[in-house]
Structure 1
Amino acid sequence: MSTGQSLQDPFLNVLQKDRAPVSIYSLSGIKLQGQMESFNQFVMLLRNTVNQMIYKSSISTVVPSRAVKMPTEGTELACF
């Protein structure tokens, strides 16, 4: 799964750097909103009124509130 990692880390880095608001949906359908504070191989730290540590294994979808530009690709990832 090295292909997934090569897309995942740059995407999350852009969200963290730009402090873009994101919605994160869990596998059980719970919606969390905030800004990407930090992440590593296993967890993401989401900041809103409180910090929330979310295990990546429980995440279904990460949706930025606006289009983000990937620096290596030069293309925008549209959000729906």
Structure 2
Amino acid sequence: MDKKQFKLITTHPKHLGRPDQNLEPRITSNNQTSLKENGNNVDLDIEMVDQATNGLYYQALTAQMNGRLKMLNYVTTH
């Protein structure tokens, strides 16, 4: 196969990243919880609540998208 046939095309300058971009990681800290003896301030209860919240958001959004896709499928087939 000719590699020229499969050239990647970007529609926005930030798509796929560019080698000339200076991307720097950003470290953020959460200072709202107390520091434990081992230097860790991760609160398992807060993390579990955040995980449950994200799961509910994901389920709601996928249900909504599935409904819209079913509507489009119905419209295009009938």
TM over 0.5: no
Instruction: Find the structure with the greater CA-based Rg.
Output: 2
Q: Which is richer in strand?
A: 1
TM class by shorter-chain length?
under 0.3
